[in-house]
Amino acid sequence: MKKTLFATPQDAEAAFYDALVRRDLEAMMEVWSDDDEVYCVHPGGSRISGVERIRDSWRQIFSSGQQLRFSLRDQQLIHTMMLAVHSVYEHVSVAGQPRTRQPMIATNIYQRTGHGWRMVGHHAAPAPAPVSSDVEEPATKTLH
């Protein structure tokens, strides 16, 4: 049984990134739903399904010893009564390294459960290169 009650999807998301920065496996898994239908896609990786496989993936990531820092930008949020989808740009840096890495774009999916909001999906991948501002937009736009 989960101990922490996340009253909002934003609370769950804050706990997710906090656990990631602290490399705290138990805090990370506290955010995730206990439902075996959960999934996770780490940057450059394949889809991992199930609570135990997700736990193992985070255990491996945390054992690397890298101190990651995250800044979330350009958040787009979709909320319903039972489901929330957050699309965010993760600006990641590693402690002791001067440059930030290429931004990641992540989709975090949260579901309302009897024990508060829980993560049911996380998919992160490198963000595409920014489009040059020198390119002119067409005068008219066509909707499909």
Average pLDDT on 80-107 reads 85
What DSSP character marks residue 58? H
Asked whether the predicted pLDDT for residue 141 surpasses 70, the reply is no
pLDDT for the residue numbered 78: 95
Average pLDDT on 117-138 reads 76
Between 108 and 2, residue with greater pLDDT: 108
pLDDT for the residue numbered 2: 63
Backbone angles phi, psi at 49, to 5 degrees: -120, 145
Asked whether the predicted pLDDT for residue 67 surpasses 90, the reply is no
**Alpha-carbon distance 62 to 21, whole Å?**
9
- pLDDT above 90: percentage of residues in the chain: 63
73 Rama sector, left if φ>0, alpha if ψ -120 to 50, beta otherwise: beta
pLDDT for the residue numbered 76: 93
> Over the stretch 8-56, which tens digit does the pLDDT of each residue have?
999 999 999 999 999 999 999 999 999 999 999 999 999 999 999 999 9
What DSSP character marks residue 32? B
CA angle 25, 26, 30 (to 5 degrees): 115
Residue ranges per domain, the chain? 9-126
Is the domain covering 9-126 a CATH 3.10.450.50 domain?
Answer: yes
Give the pLDDT band of residue 144 (cuts 50, 70, 90): very low
